[in-house]
Amino acid sequence: MLLFDNTNDIEFKTTTIYNAPYFPEYVAHHHTMGPSDLLIRPLGRLHDQKPYRCQDNPFSAEYQLTFQFLEQVNVTHFKMHPSWEEANVVARIWGAWIDHNCLTIEGKWHLLYEASHSKDPSERYKVCFELITTIRIELNKNFLMYSRVTCPFLNYSQMDILSNFPLVLPLEGRLLYEGVQTLTRNIVPKIEPVAISNGDNLIADLPTEMLYNIFAYLDLRSLSRCAQVNKRWNSVASDPRFYQEVDLKVYWNKINGKNLKKLKNKLQIVRKLDMSWCTDVTIMNFYKYIDGLISILEKAKDTITHLCLNHTYLIFDDIMEQIFECPNLEDLRLRNIRLDCLDYGWSESCQELTSLKTLDVSLSNIKESGLIEILKMIPNLEHLFMDDCDKLRNVEPIVTTVVNYNPRLKSWSSSRTFHLKDNSKAYEEFGKLIHLEYLDFTYCEPKPYGSNWLKCIAMNCKKLKRLELGSWKELTDEDLLPVLIYCKELSHLYLPDIPKISSWTLITACENLPNLGHICVYWCENISKEMVEDLAKCYKHVNFYRIRSL
Protein backbone atom coordinates (compact mmCIF):
# COMPACT_ATOMS: atom_id res chain seq x y z
CA MET A 1 0.00 0.00 0.00
CA LEU A 2 1.49 3.32 -1.08
CA LEU A 3 0.47 6.12 1.24
CA PHE A 4 2.44 9.00 -0.14
CA ASP A 5 3.52 9.87 -3.65
CA ASN A 6 7.04 11.23 -3.22
CA THR A 7 7.12 12.78 -6.69
CA ASN A 8 4.67 15.49 -5.59
CA ASP A 9 5.99 16.06 -2.09
CA ILE A 10 6.59 19.67 -1.12
CA GLU A 11 8.56 19.97 2.07
CA PHE A 12 7.87 22.48 4.82
CA LYS A 13 11.42 23.27 5.92
CA THR A 14 13.49 26.36 6.48
CA THR A 15 13.48 26.95 2.73
CA THR A 16 9.72 27.49 2.71
CA ILE A 17 9.12 28.94 6.19
CA TYR A 18 10.39 32.39 7.06
CA ASN A 19 10.53 33.91 10.55
CA ALA A 20 8.90 30.80 12.08
CA PRO A 21 10.96 28.19 13.98
CA TYR A 22 8.22 25.60 13.42
CA PHE A 23 4.65 25.43 12.26
CA PRO A 24 1.72 26.07 14.55
CA GLU A 25 -0.76 23.25 14.91
CA TYR A 26 -1.95 21.94 11.58
CA VAL A 27 -5.46 21.67 10.21
CA ALA A 28 -6.31 19.05 7.59
CA HIS A 29 -7.81 20.53 4.47
CA HIS A 30 -8.85 19.01 1.16
CA HIS A 31 -7.18 20.39 -1.94
CA THR A 32 -8.28 20.38 -5.55
CA MET A 33 -5.67 17.86 -6.71
CA GLY A 34 -8.02 15.05 -5.77
CA PRO A 35 -10.63 14.00 -3.22
CA SER A 36 -8.03 12.28 -1.05
CA ASP A 37 -5.38 14.99 -1.09
CA LEU A 38 -4.59 16.83 2.12
CA LEU A 39 -3.25 20.34 2.23
CA ILE A 40 -1.81 21.14 5.63
CA ARG A 41 -2.67 24.72 6.43
CA PRO A 42 -0.15 26.45 8.72
CA LEU A 43 -2.59 28.90 10.21
CA GLY A 44 -3.33 27.23 13.50
CA ARG A 45 -6.54 25.93 14.97
CA LEU A 46 -9.65 28.02 14.64
CA HIS A 47 -11.45 27.07 17.85
CA ASP A 48 -9.46 25.33 20.55
CA GLN A 49 -11.37 22.95 22.77
CA LYS A 50 -10.08 21.66 26.06
CA PRO A 51 -9.20 17.97 25.68
CA TYR A 52 -11.58 15.36 26.98
CA ARG A 53 -10.52 13.01 29.77
CA CYS A 54 -7.19 11.23 29.46
CA GLN A 55 -6.92 8.38 26.94
CA ASP A 56 -5.17 5.05 27.30
CA ASN A 57 -3.40 5.41 23.94
CA PRO A 58 -0.77 8.17 23.63
CA PHE A 59 -1.18 8.29 19.84
CA SER A 60 -4.50 10.00 19.37
CA ALA A 61 -6.04 10.68 15.97
CA GLU A 62 -7.81 13.78 14.74
CA TYR A 63 -8.57 12.81 11.15
CA GLN A 64 -9.60 9.65 9.41
CA LEU A 65 -9.39 8.53 5.79
CA THR A 66 -11.28 5.51 4.46
CA PHE A 67 -10.45 3.76 1.18
CA GLN A 68 -12.30 1.00 -0.62
CA PHE A 69 -10.90 -1.67 -2.95
CA LEU A 70 -12.74 -3.23 -5.85
CA GLU A 71 -11.84 -6.74 -4.73
CA GLN A 72 -10.66 -8.56 -1.64
CA VAL A 73 -6.96 -8.22 -0.90
CA ASN A 74 -4.50 -9.39 1.72
CA VAL A 75 -2.24 -6.63 3.02
CA THR A 76 1.35 -7.69 3.51
CA HIS A 77 3.19 -4.41 4.07
CA PHE A 78 2.96 -0.64 3.77
CA LYS A 79 5.16 2.03 2.26
CA MET A 80 5.25 5.28 4.13
CA HIS A 81 7.47 8.33 4.03
CA PRO A 82 10.07 8.07 6.83
CA SER A 83 9.29 11.51 8.26
CA TRP A 84 5.64 10.55 8.76
CA GLU A 85 6.57 7.23 10.30
CA GLU A 86 9.15 8.73 12.66
CA ALA A 87 6.75 11.45 13.78
CA ASN A 88 3.89 8.95 14.28
CA VAL A 89 1.61 10.97 12.03
CA VAL A 90 -0.24 7.80 11.07
CA ALA A 91 -1.61 6.62 14.41
CA ARG A 92 -3.29 3.44 13.23
CA ILE A 93 -4.32 1.63 10.04
CA TRP A 94 -7.29 -0.73 10.08
CA GLY A 95 -8.70 -3.19 7.59
CA ALA A 96 -12.07 -4.93 7.27
CA TRP A 97 -14.15 -6.87 4.78
CA ILE A 98 -17.18 -4.67 4.12
CA ASP A 99 -19.83 -5.35 1.52
CA HIS A 100 -20.56 -1.78 0.41
CA ASN A 101 -23.60 -2.83 -1.59
CA CYS A 102 -25.57 -3.83 1.49
CA LEU A 103 -23.41 -2.08 4.12
CA THR A 104 -22.62 -5.21 6.10
CA ILE A 105 -19.41 -6.19 7.83
CA GLU A 106 -18.40 -9.74 7.04
CA GLY A 107 -15.52 -9.60 9.53
CA LYS A 108 -14.30 -7.38 12.35
CA TRP A 109 -11.86 -4.51 11.96
CA HIS A 110 -8.25 -5.72 12.08
CA LEU A 111 -5.38 -3.53 13.27
CA LEU A 112 -2.74 -3.51 10.51
CA TYR A 113 -0.42 -0.77 11.77
CA GLU A 114 -0.04 1.15 15.02
CA ALA A 115 2.28 4.02 15.91
CA SER A 116 5.00 3.25 18.43
CA HIS A 117 7.97 4.93 20.06
CA SER A 118 9.98 1.83 19.22
CA LYS A 119 11.80 1.61 15.90
CA ASP A 120 11.30 -2.15 15.77
CA PRO A 121 8.98 -2.85 12.80
CA SER A 122 7.33 -5.70 14.68
CA GLU A 123 6.04 -3.14 17.19
CA ARG A 124 4.30 -1.21 14.42
CA TYR A 125 3.20 -3.64 11.74
CA LYS A 126 0.59 -6.20 12.72
CA VAL A 127 -0.21 -9.56 11.16
CA CYS A 128 -3.57 -9.98 9.45
CA PHE A 129 -4.61 -13.30 7.95
CA GLU A 130 -7.99 -12.02 6.71
CA LEU A 131 -8.98 -10.70 3.32
CA ILE A 132 -10.10 -7.07 3.40
CA THR A 133 -11.95 -4.66 1.13
CA THR A 134 -11.64 -1.44 3.15
CA ILE A 135 -8.72 0.43 4.70
CA ARG A 136 -9.16 3.09 7.38
CA ILE A 137 -6.26 5.38 8.35
CA GLU A 138 -6.14 7.47 11.53
CA LEU A 139 -3.98 10.60 11.25
CA ASN A 140 -2.59 13.17 13.63
CA LYS A 141 -0.32 15.75 12.02
CA ASN A 142 0.17 17.69 15.25
CA PHE A 143 3.17 15.45 15.98
CA LEU A 144 5.11 17.02 13.11
CA MET A 145 7.64 19.78 13.63
CA TYR A 146 7.78 20.13 9.87
CA SER A 147 5.55 18.45 7.37
CA ARG A 148 4.75 17.92 3.71
CA VAL A 149 1.98 18.70 1.32
CA THR A 150 1.43 15.23 -0.03
CA CYS A 151 -1.00 13.04 -1.86
CA PRO A 152 -1.94 10.26 0.56
CA PHE A 153 -3.74 7.60 -1.41
CA LEU A 154 -3.97 3.87 -1.73
CA ASN A 155 -2.94 2.69 -5.16
CA TYR A 156 -4.24 -0.77 -5.89
CA SER A 157 -1.40 -1.46 -8.30
CA GLN A 158 1.00 -0.96 -5.39
CA MET A 159 -0.96 -3.21 -3.05
CA ASP A 160 0.92 -6.41 -2.38
CA ILE A 161 -1.28 -9.46 -2.87
CA LEU A 162 -0.23 -12.43 -0.78
CA SER A 163 -0.24 -14.88 -3.67
CA ASN A 164 1.89 -12.73 -5.98
CA PHE A 165 4.42 -10.85 -3.86
CA PRO A 166 6.92 -11.85 -1.15
CA LEU A 167 6.51 -10.51 2.34
CA VAL A 168 8.73 -7.62 3.37
CA LEU A 169 8.80 -8.00 7.13
CA PRO A 170 10.66 -11.14 8.33
CA LEU A 171 8.45 -11.51 11.39
CA GLU A 172 5.28 -11.54 9.29
CA GLY A 173 6.77 -14.08 6.92
CA ARG A 174 7.79 -16.43 9.72
CA LEU A 175 4.39 -16.14 11.35
CA LEU A 176 2.60 -16.96 8.12
CA TYR A 177 4.82 -19.82 7.01
CA GLU A 178 5.97 -21.33 10.34
CA GLY A 179 3.01 -20.58 12.55
CA VAL A 180 2.70 -18.99 15.97
CA GLN A 181 3.24 -22.21 17.93
CA THR A 182 6.59 -22.91 16.22
CA LEU A 183 7.91 -19.46 17.06
CA THR A 184 6.72 -19.43 20.66
CA ARG A 185 7.34 -23.00 21.82
CA ASN A 186 10.75 -22.18 23.34
CA ILE A 187 9.63 -18.96 25.01
CA VAL A 188 9.37 -19.23 28.78
CA PRO A 189 7.47 -16.36 30.42
CA LYS A 190 9.29 -14.54 33.18
CA ILE A 191 7.12 -14.42 36.28
CA GLU A 192 8.45 -12.79 39.40
CA PRO A 193 6.57 -13.79 42.56
CA VAL A 194 5.41 -10.98 44.82
CA ALA A 195 5.30 -11.59 48.55
CA ILE A 196 2.02 -10.55 50.15
CA SER A 197 1.38 -10.90 53.86
CA ASN A 198 -1.63 -12.92 54.86
CA GLY A 199 -4.65 -10.79 55.44
CA ASP A 200 -3.18 -7.66 53.79
CA ASN A 201 -5.41 -6.10 51.13
CA LEU A 202 -4.44 -2.46 51.13
CA ILE A 203 -6.49 -1.45 48.11
CA ALA A 204 -9.64 -3.04 49.49
CA ASP A 205 -9.19 -1.04 52.68
CA LEU A 206 -9.16 2.29 50.86
CA PRO A 207 -12.17 4.49 51.63
CA THR A 208 -14.67 5.02 48.85
CA GLU A 209 -13.80 8.71 48.60
CA MET A 210 -10.18 7.77 47.90
CA LEU A 211 -11.26 5.41 45.12
CA TYR A 212 -13.26 8.22 43.54
CA ASN A 213 -10.17 10.44 43.54
CA ILE A 214 -8.02 7.71 41.99
CA PHE A 215 -10.56 6.72 39.33
CA ALA A 216 -10.91 10.34 38.25
CA TYR A 217 -7.46 10.09 36.61
CA LEU A 218 -8.21 6.92 34.65
CA ASP A 219 -9.12 6.62 30.99
CA LEU A 220 -12.31 4.96 29.80
CA ARG A 221 -10.73 1.59 29.13
CA SER A 222 -9.13 1.45 32.57
CA LEU A 223 -12.42 2.43 34.19
CA SER A 224 -14.14 -0.37 32.33
CA ARG A 225 -11.58 -2.87 33.59
CA CYS A 226 -11.82 -1.61 37.15
CA ALA A 227 -15.57 -2.13 37.01
CA GLN A 228 -14.94 -5.86 36.53
CA VAL A 229 -12.89 -6.32 39.72
CA ASN A 230 -15.71 -6.57 42.26
CA LYS A 231 -19.09 -5.08 43.09
CA ARG A 232 -17.65 -2.20 45.08
CA TRP A 233 -15.34 -1.14 42.29
CA ASN A 234 -18.11 -1.60 39.77
CA SER A 235 -20.31 0.76 41.73
CA VAL A 236 -17.57 3.39 41.94
CA ALA A 237 -16.41 3.06 38.31
CA SER A 238 -20.00 3.35 37.03
CA ASP A 239 -20.58 6.72 38.68
CA PRO A 240 -21.84 9.18 36.00
CA ARG A 241 -19.52 11.88 37.35
CA PHE A 242 -16.60 10.10 35.64
CA TYR A 243 -18.34 10.35 32.27
CA GLN A 244 -19.03 14.06 31.92
CA GLU A 245 -16.47 14.48 29.12
CA VAL A 246 -16.31 11.38 26.93
CA ASP A 247 -14.41 10.86 23.68
CA LEU A 248 -15.52 7.61 22.05
CA LYS A 249 -13.77 8.39 18.78
CA VAL A 250 -10.74 6.33 19.73
CA TYR A 251 -13.00 3.31 20.28
CA TRP A 252 -14.92 3.68 17.02
CA ASN A 253 -14.35 0.03 16.08
CA LYS A 254 -15.89 -1.18 19.36
CA ILE A 255 -18.94 1.07 19.59
CA ASN A 256 -22.23 -0.55 18.57
CA GLY A 257 -25.81 -0.65 19.74
CA LYS A 258 -25.06 -3.16 22.50
CA ASN A 259 -22.23 -1.08 23.97
CA LEU A 260 -24.24 2.13 23.75
CA LYS A 261 -26.97 0.48 25.78
CA LYS A 262 -24.41 -0.32 28.49
CA LEU A 263 -23.12 3.26 28.44
CA LYS A 264 -26.57 4.81 28.65
CA ASN A 265 -26.73 5.02 32.45
CA LYS A 266 -23.13 6.21 32.73
CA LEU A 267 -23.69 9.08 30.29
CA GLN A 268 -26.82 10.50 31.89
CA ILE A 269 -25.05 13.74 32.93
CA VAL A 270 -22.49 13.90 30.11
CA ARG A 271 -21.50 17.41 29.01
CA LYS A 272 -19.10 16.77 26.13
CA LEU A 273 -19.64 13.74 23.91
CA ASP A 274 -17.55 12.93 20.83
CA MET A 275 -18.82 9.96 18.81
CA SER A 276 -16.95 10.66 15.58
CA TRP A 277 -16.54 7.61 13.32
CA CYS A 278 -18.71 5.54 15.69
CA THR A 279 -21.15 3.90 13.31
CA ASP A 280 -21.99 0.23 13.28
CA VAL A 281 -22.64 -0.23 9.56
CA THR A 282 -24.14 -3.68 9.97
CA ILE A 283 -27.79 -3.41 8.99
CA MET A 284 -28.88 -5.68 11.85
CA ASN A 285 -27.19 -3.51 14.48
CA PHE A 286 -27.57 -0.10 12.85
CA TYR A 287 -31.03 0.57 14.29
CA LYS A 288 -29.88 -0.62 17.71
CA TYR A 289 -27.09 1.93 17.40
CA ILE A 290 -29.61 4.66 16.54
CA ASP A 291 -31.85 3.69 19.47
CA GLY A 292 -28.85 3.73 21.81
CA LEU A 293 -27.82 7.20 20.66
CA ILE A 294 -31.35 8.54 21.07
CA SER A 295 -31.63 7.11 24.59
CA ILE A 296 -28.31 8.74 25.56
CA LEU A 297 -29.49 12.12 24.26
CA GLU A 298 -32.79 11.73 26.10
CA LYS A 299 -31.06 11.14 29.43
CA ALA A 300 -28.42 13.86 28.97
CA LYS A 301 -30.54 16.50 27.24
CA ASP A 302 -30.32 18.92 30.18
CA THR A 303 -26.54 18.68 30.64
CA ILE A 304 -24.93 18.12 27.23
CA THR A 305 -23.14 21.17 25.80
CA HIS A 306 -20.86 19.69 23.09
CA LEU A 307 -21.94 16.96 20.66
CA CYS A 308 -19.75 15.69 17.84
CA LEU A 309 -21.16 13.11 15.39
CA ASN A 310 -18.66 13.60 12.57
CA HIS A 311 -18.41 10.81 9.99
CA THR A 312 -21.24 8.75 11.47
CA TYR A 313 -22.81 8.11 8.06
CA LEU A 314 -26.48 8.95 8.63
CA ILE A 315 -28.73 11.02 10.88
CA PHE A 316 -32.44 10.27 11.18
CA ASP A 317 -35.15 12.80 11.97
CA ASP A 318 -35.61 11.20 15.41
CA ILE A 319 -32.00 12.05 16.27
CA MET A 320 -32.29 15.62 14.99
CA GLU A 321 -35.47 16.16 16.99
CA GLN A 322 -33.74 14.83 20.09
CA ILE A 323 -30.70 17.08 19.47
CA PHE A 324 -32.98 20.11 19.38
CA GLU A 325 -34.40 19.04 22.75
CA CYS A 326 -31.03 19.83 24.37
CA PRO A 327 -31.43 23.45 25.53
CA ASN A 328 -27.82 23.89 26.73
CA LEU A 329 -26.12 22.60 23.57
CA GLU A 330 -23.32 24.99 22.53
CA ASP A 331 -21.33 23.07 19.90
CA LEU A 332 -22.81 20.72 17.27
CA ARG A 333 -20.61 18.93 14.71
CA LEU A 334 -22.32 17.02 11.87
CA ARG A 335 -19.42 16.76 9.45
CA ASN A 336 -19.58 14.25 6.58
CA ILE A 337 -23.07 12.97 7.40
CA ARG A 338 -26.09 12.27 5.24
CA LEU A 339 -28.76 14.73 6.39
CA ASP A 340 -31.66 13.54 4.24
CA CYS A 341 -33.99 13.91 7.21
CA LEU A 342 -33.83 17.71 6.94
CA ASP A 343 -35.99 17.62 3.80
CA TYR A 344 -39.12 16.30 5.50
CA GLY A 345 -40.34 18.98 7.89
CA TRP A 346 -38.65 17.55 10.98
CA SER A 347 -38.43 20.95 12.72
CA GLU A 348 -42.15 21.60 13.17
CA SER A 349 -42.17 20.41 16.79
CA CYS A 350 -38.60 21.45 17.72
CA GLN A 351 -37.59 24.32 19.95
CA GLU A 352 -34.93 26.95 19.41
CA LEU A 353 -31.40 26.26 20.58
CA THR A 354 -30.56 29.60 22.11
CA SER A 355 -27.24 28.36 23.51
CA LEU A 356 -25.85 26.88 20.28
CA LYS A 357 -22.86 28.88 19.01
CA THR A 358 -21.03 26.49 16.66
CA LEU A 359 -22.51 24.47 13.78
CA ASP A 360 -20.44 22.34 11.38
CA VAL A 361 -22.21 20.63 8.45
CA SER A 362 -19.18 20.41 6.15
CA LEU A 363 -18.95 17.55 3.64
CA SER A 364 -22.62 16.72 4.19
CA ASN A 365 -25.44 16.53 1.64
CA ILE A 366 -27.46 19.28 3.31
CA LYS A 367 -29.58 21.47 1.01
CA GLU A 368 -30.50 25.14 1.22
CA SER A 369 -33.95 24.44 2.65
CA GLY A 370 -32.62 22.21 5.43
CA LEU A 371 -29.80 24.58 6.37
CA ILE A 372 -32.14 27.56 6.42
CA GLU A 373 -34.52 25.74 8.77
CA ILE A 374 -31.66 25.03 11.16
CA LEU A 375 -30.29 28.57 11.01
CA LYS A 376 -33.68 30.00 11.91
CA MET A 377 -33.65 27.95 15.11
CA ILE A 378 -30.18 29.09 16.26
CA PRO A 379 -30.48 32.83 17.01
CA ASN A 380 -27.12 33.12 18.80
CA LEU A 381 -24.99 31.23 16.27
CA GLU A 382 -21.40 32.50 16.06
CA HIS A 383 -19.50 29.93 13.97
CA LEU A 384 -20.86 28.34 10.77
CA PHE A 385 -18.88 25.77 8.73
CA MET A 386 -20.28 24.41 5.46
CA ASP A 387 -17.22 23.43 3.42
CA ASP A 388 -17.57 21.00 0.51
CA CYS A 389 -21.38 20.89 0.61
CA ASP A 390 -22.13 20.07 -3.02
CA LYS A 391 -25.91 20.33 -2.54
CA LEU A 392 -25.70 24.00 -1.57
CA ARG A 393 -26.07 25.82 -4.87
CA ASN A 394 -27.25 29.33 -4.07
CA VAL A 395 -25.59 31.55 -1.50
CA GLU A 396 -28.19 34.34 -1.55
CA PRO A 397 -30.95 32.74 0.61
CA ILE A 398 -28.35 31.52 3.09
CA VAL A 399 -26.80 34.99 3.43
CA THR A 400 -30.24 36.55 3.87
CA THR A 401 -31.17 34.02 6.55
CA VAL A 402 -27.92 34.49 8.45
CA VAL A 403 -28.26 38.28 8.42
CA ASN A 404 -31.85 38.13 9.69
CA TYR A 405 -31.57 35.28 12.20
CA ASN A 406 -27.87 35.03 13.14
CA PRO A 407 -26.60 38.62 13.44
CA ARG A 408 -23.85 37.65 15.93
CA LEU A 409 -22.02 35.42 13.42
CA LYS A 410 -18.22 35.59 13.81
CA SER A 411 -17.05 32.76 11.53
CA TRP A 412 -18.17 31.84 8.00
CA SER A 413 -16.49 28.99 6.13
CA SER A 414 -17.84 27.89 2.74
CA SER A 415 -14.72 26.62 0.99
CA ARG A 416 -15.51 24.82 -2.30
CA THR A 417 -19.24 25.05 -1.68
CA PHE A 418 -20.51 27.62 -4.18
CA HIS A 419 -19.28 30.38 -6.47
CA LEU A 420 -20.24 33.89 -5.48
CA LYS A 421 -22.18 36.08 -7.90
CA ASP A 422 -20.70 39.53 -8.26
CA ASN A 423 -23.79 40.92 -9.97
CA SER A 424 -26.16 39.86 -7.16
CA LYS A 425 -27.10 41.86 -4.09
CA ALA A 426 -26.00 39.13 -1.70
CA TYR A 427 -22.70 40.90 -1.04
CA GLU A 428 -24.60 43.92 0.29
CA GLU A 429 -26.44 41.67 2.73
CA PHE A 430 -23.19 39.94 3.66
CA GLY A 431 -21.71 43.29 4.62
CA LYS A 432 -24.23 43.50 7.45
CA LEU A 433 -22.32 40.80 9.35
CA ILE A 434 -20.28 43.41 11.19
CA HIS A 435 -19.07 40.97 13.89
CA LEU A 436 -17.35 38.67 11.38
CA GLU A 437 -13.82 37.66 12.44
CA TYR A 438 -13.08 34.62 10.28
CA LEU A 439 -13.97 34.27 6.60
CA ASP A 440 -13.08 31.38 4.29
CA PHE A 441 -14.01 31.90 0.63
CA THR A 442 -11.43 29.45 -0.77
CA TYR A 443 -12.44 28.35 -4.29
CA CYS A 444 -15.48 30.65 -4.14
CA GLU A 445 -14.27 33.15 -6.73
CA PRO A 446 -17.16 35.20 -8.21
CA LYS A 447 -18.36 34.12 -11.65
CA PRO A 448 -18.18 36.36 -13.64
CA TYR A 449 -15.33 37.87 -11.69
CA GLY A 450 -15.76 41.14 -9.84
CA SER A 451 -14.46 42.82 -6.70
CA ASN A 452 -17.78 43.91 -5.15
CA TRP A 453 -17.66 41.20 -2.49
CA LEU A 454 -14.22 42.19 -1.25
CA LYS A 455 -15.04 45.90 -1.26
CA CYS A 456 -18.20 45.36 0.75
CA ILE A 457 -16.47 43.03 3.21
CA ALA A 458 -13.59 45.47 3.70
CA MET A 459 -15.87 48.45 4.29
CA ASN A 460 -18.16 46.72 6.79
CA CYS A 461 -16.42 43.72 8.39
CA LYS A 462 -13.69 45.69 10.11
CA LYS A 463 -13.27 43.14 12.93
CA LEU A 464 -11.99 40.55 10.47
CA LYS A 465 -8.96 38.69 11.85
CA ARG A 466 -8.54 35.84 9.39
CA LEU A 467 -9.24 35.86 5.66
CA GLU A 468 -8.83 32.95 3.22
CA LEU A 469 -9.19 33.54 -0.53
CA GLY A 470 -7.42 30.55 -2.05
CA SER A 471 -7.50 30.05 -5.84
CA TRP A 472 -9.09 33.36 -6.79
CA LYS A 473 -7.41 33.31 -10.20
CA GLU A 474 -8.46 36.82 -11.25
CA LEU A 475 -7.71 38.54 -7.95
CA THR A 476 -5.27 41.43 -8.27
CA ASP A 477 -3.30 43.67 -5.93
CA GLU A 478 -5.79 46.46 -6.52
CA ASP A 479 -8.73 44.26 -5.53
CA LEU A 480 -7.07 43.41 -2.21
CA LEU A 481 -6.22 47.01 -1.36
CA PRO A 482 -9.52 47.83 0.46
CA VAL A 483 -9.04 44.80 2.71
CA LEU A 484 -5.49 45.84 3.57
CA ILE A 485 -6.60 49.40 4.35
CA TYR A 486 -9.77 48.91 6.40
CA CYS A 487 -9.37 45.49 8.10
CA LYS A 488 -6.77 46.60 10.61
CA GLU A 489 -7.22 43.59 12.91
CA LEU A 490 -6.19 41.00 10.31
CA SER A 491 -3.69 38.52 11.73
CA HIS A 492 -3.92 35.66 9.18
CA LEU A 493 -4.00 36.23 5.43
CA TYR A 494 -4.31 33.09 3.29
CA LEU A 495 -3.72 33.74 -0.45
CA PRO A 496 -2.55 30.51 -2.14
CA ASP A 497 -2.69 29.84 -5.86
CA ILE A 498 -3.41 33.44 -6.88
CA PRO A 499 -1.24 34.10 -9.94
CA LYS A 500 -1.88 37.85 -10.34
CA ILE A 501 -0.85 39.20 -6.95
CA SER A 502 2.71 40.43 -6.45
CA SER A 503 5.07 41.35 -3.65
CA TRP A 504 3.32 44.74 -3.51
CA THR A 505 0.45 43.04 -1.66
CA LEU A 506 2.86 41.56 0.88
CA ILE A 507 4.58 44.89 1.51
CA THR A 508 1.27 46.75 1.85
CA ALA A 509 -0.09 44.11 4.22
CA CYS A 510 3.00 44.23 6.44
CA GLU A 511 2.96 48.03 6.53
CA ASN A 512 -0.76 48.55 7.14
CA LEU A 513 -1.71 45.59 9.35
CA PRO A 514 -0.15 45.91 12.82
CA ASN A 515 -1.47 42.52 14.02
CA LEU A 516 -0.43 40.52 10.96
CA GLY A 517 1.36 37.34 12.02
CA HIS A 518 0.90 34.86 9.16
CA ILE A 519 0.67 35.33 5.42
CA CYS A 520 0.48 32.39 3.01
CA VAL A 521 1.38 32.71 -0.69
CA TYR A 522 1.69 29.10 -1.87
CA TRP A 523 2.00 28.70 -5.63
CA CYS A 524 1.81 32.43 -6.35
CA GLU A 525 3.74 32.71 -9.60
CA ASN A 526 4.63 36.41 -9.33
CA ILE A 527 6.16 36.10 -5.86
CA SER A 528 9.64 34.66 -5.96
CA LYS A 529 11.68 33.04 -3.25
CA GLU A 530 14.11 35.99 -3.20
CA MET A 531 11.25 38.46 -2.63
CA VAL A 532 9.96 36.52 0.35
CA GLU A 533 13.45 36.18 1.83
CA ASP A 534 13.98 39.94 1.62
CA LEU A 535 10.58 40.67 3.16
CA ALA A 536 11.25 38.18 5.96
CA LYS A 537 14.36 40.15 6.89
CA CYS A 538 12.47 43.45 6.98
CA TYR A 539 9.33 42.22 8.76
CA LYS A 540 10.50 39.77 11.38
CA HIS A 541 7.15 39.75 13.19
CA VAL A 542 5.41 38.11 10.21
CA ASN A 543 5.62 34.40 9.32
CA PHE A 544 5.74 33.95 5.56
CA TYR A 545 4.74 30.70 3.87
CA ARG A 546 5.74 30.16 0.30
CA ILE A 547 6.00 27.05 -1.91
CA ARG A 548 7.17 26.84 -5.48
CA SER A 549 4.65 26.19 -8.24
CA LEU A 550 3.85 22.57 -8.95
* Predicted confidence (pLDDT) at residue 461 exceeds the cutoff of 90: yes
How high is the pLDDT of residue 125?
76
Candidate from 192-196, 372-376, 392-396 with smallest mean pLDDT: 192-196
Candidate from 160-164, 189-193, 371-375, 425-429 with smallest mean pLDDT: 160-164
How high is the pLDDT of residue 173?
40
Nearest CA-CA partner of 370 in 441, 311, 315:
315
* Predicted confidence (pLDDT) at residue 6 exceeds the cutoff of 60: no
How high is the pLDDT of residue 33?
27
How high is the pLDDT of residue 434?
95
Is 83 or 122 the better-scoring residue by pLDDT?
122
Instruction: Indicate the domain borders of the chain.
Output: 6-183, 301-545
Task: For the full predicted model, state whether its pTM sits above 0.85.
Answer: no
Give Cα 102 to chain centroid, integer Å.
27
How high is the pLDDT of residue 60?
72
pLDDT digits (tens, 9 = 90+) for 201-253: 667 778 888 999 899 888 888 898 999 988 999 999 999 999 999 988 888 88
Q: In what order do the strands lie in the sheet with 63-73?
A: 63-73, 132-139, 90-96, 110-114
Instruction: Answer yes or no: CATH 3.80.10.10 is held by domain 301-545.
Output: yes
DSSP H or E stretch at residue 149: strand 148-149
pLDDT digits (tens, 9 = 90+) for 29-88: 332 222 222 333 333 333 445 556 666 666 777 777 777 777 777 777 667 766 666 667
Identify the band that residue 262 occupies on the pLDDT scale cut at 50, 70 and 90.
Answer: confident
Per the CB < 8 A criterion, the answer to whether 301 and 268 are in contact is no
How high is the pLDDT of residue 109?
83
Q: Are strands 411-413 and 383-385 parallel, antiparallel or unpaired?
A: parallel
**Helical ranges in 115-179 per DSSP H:** 121-124, 170-178
Per the CB < 8 A criterion, the answer to whether 62 and 38 are in contact is no
pLDDT digits (tens, 9 = 90+) for 165-201: 232 333 444 444 445 445 455 555 555 665 555 555 6
How high is the pLDDT of residue 189?
55
Is 140 or 419 the better-scoring residue by pLDDT?
419
Distance CA 91, CA 58 (A): 9
Exposed/middle/buried for 132, CB within 10 Å: 0-12, 13-18, 19+?
Answer: buried
Identify the band that residue 25 occupies on the pLDDT scale cut at 50, 70 and 90.
Answer: very low
How high is the pLDDT of residue 29?
33
Average pLDDT score, the chain: 76
DSSP H or E stretch at residue 153: none
Phi, psi of 356 (to 5 degrees): -70, 125
